[in-house]
Amino acid sequence: MKDEAAVAARFDGRPTVEVVFTGFGAMRADRVTWIGSELGYALGADEPYGRGQRRLLFTRDDSPAARQRAQATLARVQAAGSWSAVAQPWPGAVPHGLSAVTDLPLIHPERAARAQRQVKAYEGCHPAQLISVSCVFATGFFALAWAVRETAPVAVGS
């Protein structure tokens, strides 16, 4: 997925889109997530897929706001000729009247996409998994302590 046009072609109106990355291609997951959200798709899952692979599952958002955003994005890409012009933070997002010293920092779209992926990964980890792993380790440590209970010298009083 080296070309943004090839990535955008995957989001052609299907209800679900699956993108699988292998090796170093996973570094482009933020860009693919950003392009997918610009074209009206919501990230459904970000999960490991086999050895050294990562899979992103997108579902189409059919809300009017998402469809308008997708149309506006396609119009901006066609006018600019590339996705790099669309990737710039919007200068209109800063309130007017602020000086250059007090300008608010703008968030780059790929950074927002990374945060979106990290939230999905966090939501995928259920607290019960941590509790069950902790119980297994506690049981193992208890069994180890029980096995060596007679070999450890007891230093109680003199």
DSSP per-residue codes, 59-110 = EE--SHHHHHHHHHHHHHHHHHSSSTTTTSPPGGGSPTT--SSSPPPPPPHH
110 — pLDDT class (breaks 50, 70, 90): confident
pLDDT of residue 88: 66
The tally of domains found in the chain comes to 1
Average pLDDT over residues 106-124: 80
Domain contains 95: no
Domain contains 17: yes
Task: Name the DSSP class of 50.
Answer: S
pTM: 0.64
Domain that holds residue 115: 4-88+106-146
Domain contains 48: yes
In this predicted structure, the answer to whether residue 125 has a pLDDT above a threshold of 60 is yes
Domain contains 32: yes
In this predicted structure, the answer to whether residue 1 has a pLDDT above a threshold of 50 is no
Q: How many residues does the chain have?
A: 158
Domain contains 153: no
pLDDT tens figures, 39-75 = 999 998 888 877 878 888 999 999 999 889 888 888 8
Give the number of other CB atoms < 10 A from CB of residue 34.
24
